[in-house]
Chains A and B, each alone.
Chain A
Amino acid sequence: MRLPKFEYLEPKNVKEITSLLKKNEDAILIAGGTDILPKMKQRIVTPKYVINITKIEDLKKIEFAEKKGLTLGSLATLDNISKSKPVIEKFTALAQAAGRVASPQLRNMGTIGGNISIESMCMYFNQSHEWRKGRPHLCFKLGGDRCFVAKGSKDCLALFQADTPPALIALGAQVTIVGATGKEKIINIEDFYTQKSKKVNILKPTDFVKQIHIPTPPKGTKSCYLKMAQRAAIDYPIAGAAACITVSGGKCKNAGIAVTAVGSGPLRLKEAEEVLIGNSITDELIEKAADAAYEKVRPMPHFNISAWYKRKLIRVLVKRSIKQACSKAK
């Protein structure tokens, strides 16, 4: 499969990104290209303009200072993040999540900005033009009137499967978005997501992600991301869970728990967090938190993976991620 024709643009700085996005309708940004290029080959995306932002060095930074916290330019590669010493030490879940994306080759190309912006996927949608055009009906995602994932569904049920968002949610990250006017907007990463499969994030065509910021976690904080996939590499998770636990004086002071690959976006599990906060963490309590996670999630089936199995996995992965985080936090 070949790429469709497009015009190629190359901004030199952040300002130029905004002006190019404003000037050219029907444009997309490309960084690592690991997600967008296959979609262009499949003619899911056929932009008139492709804006390559990878020449902007400013956006590649991985900076950590105890007071300022961690700042990741949106072009920081997943490989660099997974191998960064401060990220491994202070933001372990993020290093683990970034290190489990796809394969070494794809992590070398793929960026954090791209990973958090990945659209939901579906076996009825992420197919070639030839395949889709032969089908008798269009699904919601293609502007049609139905969803093939579940008969009678009133909405698109494509699955969100990115690895890093649950880790970022658990760690309390914030996203800096630059809008059409050039003005920066900082939001919690949770609010970055719409929880709608048809368009999973709030980015407008003229917006772009500039950077991600995570405050330095308080002492006694540890985190963990666990992923289960069918394959050890080049695979999206069947389910993924991140836990970030702060223990102080023998008690859980704070907890962040989030999961992926269960629905229309990464899901923060406050119910599970609440089980832990204020209590001393025991195996029984962790089981309770895992049960709360199990009760909360309503996964969607995907390919050969049933909702039943995904839900079972969420219980196990939430339990194990809390345990692993706590074993280090104590």
Chain B
Amino acid sequence: MEKYSVIGKRLPRLDSVAKVTGDAKYAGDFFLPGMLHGKILRSTVPHAKILNIDTSRAEKLPGVRAVATGKDISDIPHGFIRAAPAPFFLRDKFSLAKEKVRFIGDEIAAVAAVDEDTAMEALDLIKVDYEELPAYFSPQESMALDAVRIHDHAESNVSVVISFHLGNIEQGFAESDFVFEDNYSTQYILASYIEPHAAVADFSQSGNVTLWLSTQTPFYDRTNIAETLGIPESKVRVIKPPVGGGFGAKTETHTLFTASAVLSRKAGRPVKIIYSREEEFTSTAHRHGVTVNHKIGVKKDGTIKAVDSKFFADGGAYNSHSAISMFIMGTLQNGPYNMGSFKYEGIRVYTNKPFAGGVRGHGAIQPRFVIETMMDSISEKLDIDPIEIRKMNAVKAGQTTISKFKIRSCGHTEALDKAVEEIGWKDKWRKLPDGKGVGLASMFFASGAAFSFFYDNPPSFSGVKINAETDGNFTLFTGTSDIGQGSETTLAQIAAEELGVGLNKISVIASDTATTPLDMGSYSSRVTVFGGGAAKIAAYNMKMKLFDIAADMLEANKDDLEAKNERIYVKGTPEKSVSIADTVIGYYNKMKEHLTSSGDYNPPADVGGEMRLDLGEVNISPTFSFGTHATEVDVDKETGEVKVQKIAAAHDCGFAINPMAVEGQIEGSIQMTFGQALLEDYRMEKGWSITNSFIDYKMATSEDMPYIKPIIVESIDSEGPFGAKEASEGTNVATIPSIANAIYDAVGIRMKDLPITPEKILRALEKKEGGK
């Protein structure tokens, strides 16, 4: 008999019909009576003091109902890191500029009018007097000795420095037979969700405000909105309807969220703001572009002894995730290999550009590109098989790394073996004709951050409540945010399995700060382990309450009961059973109260602790995922064109609650990093965003995508619910280096600068062959 009846099954998502038929209502779909339309006035200069904002003409325009500026908001700025002991300056962004603008696109004023056209017209009537300041568009320019400060607190325009040293690298390098050193760079990319940001705010006469937001973090938004408006948090209700992708950028409380509420308060009417695609490009959070200097010391046999890495990140105008981004870029180098000893310096620099924040594969994409490419170089120089060098240095289950990560489960070796087998490595590597090649790369990723970056005293990291209904159905309330990854279905499957009912018996109410328990949101690949963990506990608690009643009804011992097929049975006596619906009625009759349960997930004691991002020795996550991508490419040596034929993507997700969802995550996430590897190139010129649409920003289309073979590896984790780990960010971390390494196998050039465009390949080929 199969062990499970609901989990481990390829089940369609609960929201699939609604989404496919267009029935799902996103934030932008909400219309309220009397609703106004809002627009944001943005800076047209990259760096300036604001001398004066004259809104008088805009206010007089017929149809305009409210104009807001920095004067209409509180003096509390926002940023992703809010909890103590984080220094104040990590929160450095006002929704509407107070004294300065710091990039072209920075928000200055907001207008609400009877329609969008009138609001746009009003923007043209607002006069802003600037005193322009020198502007800087690269970390090098920003850090020049004579550069003016973009933020008063930031000397040399350094936004944050994270550095740590694990073990002794001097000794590590001394013990190394070879030291490899190289420089790399990666580009700014955009998260590129299909649904642009949208907000509808309704500030009522009673002083409460309700918002429908396209967000990953409704609770954080609630706090930021309350602080910006200067009202108690409990007066703000954020509802997260279906979201059309977030990929990290929707963890920001972007200006439309606060501005819609400010305008609604001023106008006394609901206000809707939807960002244009252009605004998404010019003014929302991007992935950090970095330049890297990396040094790896190895023994002759391939053992890694020491790593010294320096990361310079272009942070743009504001801090956003800043310290977390820089911390992860360092700490997530400590796997899937043991690094011997490790030193890291991550410097994030302010520039007059759109700010960089957290984007899928946050902080892991950049160092993984570097390390896996270098592993390939090292294995070649030492004449060790690239598979072997990865295996010999691999971290293993049960081990604690020098960074103090506790590895509870590890399917890396299995993932590696399966990926290379699928790609046909043995027959292809170094054996394919010129222009064709295979490459591989491994990765690991956290299953949720075990810190509360935002709240000082949250009740728990994730909470779930369940209500029982007399028809045998359950309603599950969760604060986790399904942003398209399908987490509502995952949580429902977990609860259904625990309760012994079908998936159709679980209704999910998700992300409404007024009704669902507090949750940190969807980021750091935390939802399955944290939200799923809470769902499992809540469902178990519900089951125990049902068993209490059923034990009476069945005249049996509670410990002898089991829930399955929507009934409660006495184990081994199938004729003795009662339906769950009858048990719920029995509960009401006996207890005279509603039947509810709750569950909270908190990381175990050996994880997390005090939020010290300046320390490298801290276990950041309850558990870690692992994986390997093996990729086959064709390179056209005359044009430099790369055709990725196939990516075999093996991912250790612990246990696949829903294999179809895991496969979807693997394929979808590869689409994202495939684009970063080869195509996506966000261009700016003197602070002006040039790529403002998907015709110029080359996100991969379905025509561009290679054949992806998702391979699920299950290492059955001891911490995650039913053994599950993350499967949403780690799934794309190995893509870029696996493509770069395949290009090397095909044509013998090392690409160290992203994106790897045909032009760069042709230049590298000509350089290699001495030019034509």
One of A135, A230, A232, A308 near B688 (C-beta < 8 A)? A135
> Looking across the interface, which residue of chain B has its beta carbon closest to that of A130?
B278
What sequence of 0s and 1s flags, for each residue 21-44 of chain B, a beta carbon within 8 Å of any chain A beta carbon?
000000000000000000000101
Asked if residues B704 and A233 are in contact (CB atoms below 8 Å), the reply is yes
Asked if residues B639 and A231 are in contact (CB atoms below 8 Å), the reply is no
> Looking across the interface, which residue of chain A has its beta carbon closest to that of B278?
A128
Instruction: State whether the Cβ of A1 lies closer than 8 Å to any Cβ in chain B.
Output: yes
Instruction: State whether the Cβ of B752 lies closer than 8 Å to any Cβ in chain A.
Output: no
What sequence of 0s and 1s flags, for each residue 106-128 of chain A, a beta carbon within 8 Å of any chain B beta carbon?
00000000000000000100011
Asked if residues B701 and A128 are in contact (CB atoms below 8 Å), the reply is no
Asked if residues A231 and B758 are in contact (CB atoms below 8 Å), the reply is no
Instruction: State whether the Cβ of A6 lies closer than 8 Å to any Cβ in chain B.
Output: no
Bound complex: CA A313 to CA B44 (Å):
37
Instruction: State whether the Cβ of A13 lies closer than 8 Å to any Cβ in chain B.
Output: no
* Interface size bracket, A side: 20 to 34
Asked if residues B696 and A313 are in contact (CB atoms below 8 Å), the reply is no
What's the least CB distance linking A108 to chain B, in Å?
16
What B residues does A1 contact at CB under 8 A? 276, 278
Most chain A CB within 10 A, of B104, B282, B704, is at: B704
Instruction: State whether the Cβ of A312 lies closer than 8 Å to any Cβ in chain B.
Output: yes
Instruction: State whether the Cβ of B593 lies closer than 8 Å to any Cβ in chain A.
Output: no
What's the least CB distance linking A125 to chain B, in Å?
11
What sequence of 0s and 1s flags, for each residue 296-330 of chain A, a beta carbon within 8 Å of any chain B beta carbon?
00000001111011001100100000000000000
One of B116, B641, B700, B757 near A2 (C-beta < 8 A)? B116
What B residues does A230 contact at CB under 8 A? 679, 698, 757-758
Asked if residues A306 and B701 are in contact (CB atoms below 8 Å), the reply is no
Instruction: State whether the Cβ of A228 lies closer than 8 Å to any Cβ in chain B.
Output: yes
Bound complex: CA A123 to CA B695 (Å):
11
One of B42, B692, B701 near A231 (C-beta < 8 A)? B701
Residues 108-162 of B at the A interface (beta carbon under 8 Å): 116-117, 120, 123-124
Asked if residues B639 and A313 are in contact (CB atoms below 8 Å), the reply is yes
Bound complex: CA A128 to CA B123 (Å):
14
Instruction: State whether the Cβ of A282 lies closer than 8 Å to any Cβ in chain B.
Output: no
One of B116, B639, B696, B698 near A228 (C-beta < 8 A)? B639
Instruction: State whether the Cβ of B632 lies closer than 8 Å to any Cβ in chain A.
Output: no
Most chain B CB within 10 A, of A130, A133, A305, A313, is at: A130
Asked if residues A309 and B762 are in contact (CB atoms below 8 Å), the reply is yes
What B residues does A305 contact at CB under 8 A? 759
> Looking across the interface, which residue of chain B has its beta carbon closest to that of A316?
B638
Bound complex: CA A306 to CA B703 (Å):
25
Asked if residues A131 and B278 are in contact (CB atoms below 8 Å), the reply is yes
Instruction: State whether the Cβ of B291 lies closer than 8 Å to any Cβ in chain A.
Output: no
Residues 679-738 of B at the A interface (beta carbon under 8 Å): 679, 681, 683, 688, 690-692, 694-696, 698, 700-704
Bound complex: CA A123 to CA B641 (Å):
23
If A2-B116, A228-B641, A304-B757 touch, whether A233 touches B276 (CB-CB below 8 Å) is no
What's the least CB distance linking A311 to chain B, in Å?
11
Instruction: State whether the Cβ of A45 lies closer than 8 Å to any Cβ in chain B.
Output: no
What B residues does A135 contact at CB under 8 A? 44, 688
If A233-B701, A233-B704 touch, whether A312 touches B683 (CB-CB below 8 Å) is no
Bound complex: CA A131 to CA B276 (Å):
12
> Looking across the interface, which residue of chain B has its beta carbon closest to that of A310?
B759
What A residues does B282 contact at CB under 8 A? 131
If A2-B116, A130-B278, A316-B639 touch, whether A231 touches B698 (CB-CB below 8 Å) is yes
Instruction: State whether the Cβ of A63 lies closer than 8 Å to any Cβ in chain B.
Output: no
> Looking across the interface, which residue of chain A has its beta carbon closest to that of B282?
A131
One of B104, B696, B701 near A134 (C-beta < 8 A)? B104
What's the least CB distance linking B762 to chain A, in Å?
6
What A residues does B120 contact at CB under 8 A? 130
Residues 241-257 of A at the B interface (beta carbon under 8 Å): none
> Looking across the interface, which residue of chain B has its beta carbon closest to that of A5?
B117
Instruction: State whether the Cβ of A235 lies closer than 8 Å to any Cβ in chain B.
Output: yes
Asked if residues B759 and A306 are in contact (CB atoms below 8 Å), the reply is yes
Asked if residues A234 and B701 are in contact (CB atoms below 8 Å), the reply is yes
> Looking across the interface, which residue of chain B has its beta carbon closest to that of A238?
B758
Bound complex: CA A230 to CA B756 (Å):
11
Bound complex: CA A134 to CA B124 (Å):
10
If A123-B696, A303-B683, A303-B691 touch, whether A232 touches B701 (CB-CB below 8 Å) is yes
Residues 153-180 of A at the B interface (beta carbon under 8 Å): none
Bound complex: CA A131 to CA B704 (Å):
30
> Looking across the interface, which residue of chain B has its beta carbon closest to that of A123?
B690
Interface residues contributed by chain B, number (CB under 8 Å)? 35
> Looking across the interface, which residue of chain B has its beta carbon closest to that of A103?
B701
> Looking across the interface, which residue of chain B has its beta carbon closest to that of A302?
B696
Bound complex: CA A92 to CA B716 (Å):
57
If A123-B690, A232-B701 touch, whether A304 touches B681 (CB-CB below 8 Å) is yes
Bound complex: CA A133 to CA B42 (Å):
12
What A residues does B688 contact at CB under 8 A? 131, 135
Bound complex: CA A238 to CA B762 (Å):
14
Bound complex: CA A133 to CA B700 (Å):
30
Asked if residues A312 and B703 are in contact (CB atoms below 8 Å), the reply is no
Asked if residues A131 and B692 are in contact (CB atoms below 8 Å), the reply is yes
What's the least CB distance linking A49 to chain B, in Å?
19
Asked if residues A304 and B683 are in contact (CB atoms below 8 Å), the reply is yes
What A residues does B116 contact at CB under 8 A? 2
What A residues does B44 contact at CB under 8 A? 134-135
Bound complex: CA A235 to CA B641 (Å):
15
If A123-B690, A134-B104, A303-B683 touch, whether A309 touches B701 (CB-CB below 8 Å) is no
Bound complex: CA A235 to CA B701 (Å):
10
What's the least CB distance linking B118 to chain A, in Å?
12
What B residues does A313 contact at CB under 8 A? 639
Bound complex: CA A98 to CA B370 (Å):
41
Bound complex: CA A130 to CA B42 (Å):
9
Asked if residues A234 and B692 are in contact (CB atoms below 8 Å), the reply is no
Bound complex: CA A309 to CA B639 (Å):
9
What's the least CB distance linking B368 to chain A, in Å?
24
One of B276, B690, B700 near A128 (C-beta < 8 A)? B276
Asked if residues A232 and B276 are in contact (CB atoms below 8 Å), the reply is no
Most chain B CB within 10 A, of A133, A134, A308, is at: A134
Asked if residues A233 and B692 are in contact (CB atoms below 8 Å), the reply is no
Asked if residues A235 and B639 are in contact (CB atoms below 8 Å), the reply is no
Bound complex: CA A235 to CA B117 (Å):
30
What A residues does B124 contact at CB under 8 A? 133
If A131-B692, A309-B762, A312-B762 touch, whether A232 touches B704 (CB-CB below 8 Å) is yes
Residues 745-771 of B at the A interface (beta carbon under 8 Å): 757-759, 762
One of A123, A231, A238 near B703 (C-beta < 8 A)? A231
Bound complex: CA A149 to CA B44 (Å):
20
Bound complex: CA A80 to CA B618 (Å):
62
Bound complex: CA A184 to CA B123 (Å):
47
Bound complex: CA A1 to CA B638 (Å):
41
Asked if residues A231 and B690 are in contact (CB atoms below 8 Å), the reply is no
Bound complex: CA A328 to CA B758 (Å):
29
Residues 608-642 of B at the A interface (beta carbon under 8 Å): 638-641
Bound complex: CA A222 to CA B690 (Å):
41
One of A2, A128, A131 near B117 (C-beta < 8 A)? A2
Asked if residues B638 and A233 are in contact (CB atoms below 8 Å), the reply is no
What's the least CB distance linking A98 to chain B, in Å?
16
What A residues does B42 contact at CB under 8 A? 130, 134
If A233-B701, A234-B695 touch, whether A303 touches B278 (CB-CB below 8 Å) is no
What sequence of 0s and 1s flags, for each residue 178-221 of chain B, a beta carbon within 8 Å of any chain A beta carbon?
00000000000000000000000000000000000000000000
Asked if residues B683 and A233 are in contact (CB atoms below 8 Å), the reply is no
In the complex, 26 of the A-B residue pairs with CB atoms within 8 angstroms, ordered by the A residue number, are A1-B276, A103-B701, A123-B690, A123-B691, A127-B278, A128-B276, A128-B692, A130-B123, A130-B278, A131-B688, A135-B44, A135-B688, A228-B639, A228-B758, A230-B679, A230-B698, A230-B758, A231-B701, A232-B701, A232-B703, A233-B703, A234-B695, A236-B695, A305-B759, A312-B639, A313-B639
Query: 5 nearest interchain CB pairs?
Result: A134-B44, A232-B703, A309-B759, A233-B703, A233-B701
7 A-B pairs besides A230-B698, A238-B758 with CB distance below 8 A are A103-B701, A123-B683, A127-B692, A130-B42, A230-B679, A235-B698, A309-B758
